[in-house]
Amino acid sequence: MTEEFSYPVKAGQIKDQKLDYSLKADEAQRAALAKRFGLVGLTKLEGQFTLWHERSGIIAGTLKMRAALTQTCVVSLEPIDAKLNETAALRFVPEAHMGQAPRVEDSDEDEEDITPDSFDSPDEIPYANDIIDLGAALAEQLGLALDPYPRKPGASLPEEASDHSANPFAALAARLTKPEG
């Protein structure tokens, strides 16, 4: 699959010193991304990456993303304008390292409890041939930040669209009700 927005960077050039990269999608790239994500429009997409070498080819970083877009309300089907200001922690991992669990030195330790906070780790993005695609990473983060069910404030279904008899227990109640007489 070809990426609508590509900005390749050689992973080998990222050392201990932090490097900053600024990306801004042009009109054609924004139109292609809007089509990919089912948006009415994407008027702005910018990303500020700060990257550094973590270990064994793993590149850690942060992303500050700003976007202005238009989605369709799931209730009224009217356009909704939205602005996104997101920050994400990222880890670019060589494909050869993906899926490898970290080695546990001492197995006598208590198992770690899984909590909602334990899922708050950086997004891991695979890369191959020493090339990290920051444009693809920015597009992926945009997709993750989108509201899957955008709803305009105050939007509600018209009364004729509501089926008040669609109670899941209505059929059961009808079967259990004994006829009188």
* Tens-place pLDDT, residues 37-95: 999 999 999 999 999 998 888 999 999 999 999 999 988 889 999 999 999 999 999 98
Alpha-carbon distance of 137 to 63, in angstroms, equals: 9
Would you list the DSSP string of 47-108? EEEEEEEEETTEEEEEEEEEEEEEEE-TTT--EEEEEEEEEEEEEEEEGGGTTPPPPPS-TT
Crossing angle of helices 27-37/134-145, nearest 10°?
50
* Domain range list for the chain: 8-99+111-156
Query: What is residue 48's predicted lDDT score, i.e. its pLDDT?
Result: 98
Q: Which of 65, 30, 59 is nearest to 132 (CA)?
A: 59
Place of tokens 């020493």: 130
Q: For the residues 108-116, what does the mean pLDDT come to?
A: 52
Alpha-carbon distance of 17 to 52, in angstroms, equals: 6
Q: How would you label 76-112 residue by residue, b for 16+ Cβ within 10 Å and e otherwise?
A: eeeebeeebeeebebbbbbeeeeeeeeeeeeeeeeee
Above pLDDT 90, what percent of the chain? 51
Helix (H, G, I), strand (E, B) or coil at 142: helix
Above pLDDT 70, what percent of the chain? 74
pLDDT over 70 (residue 161): no
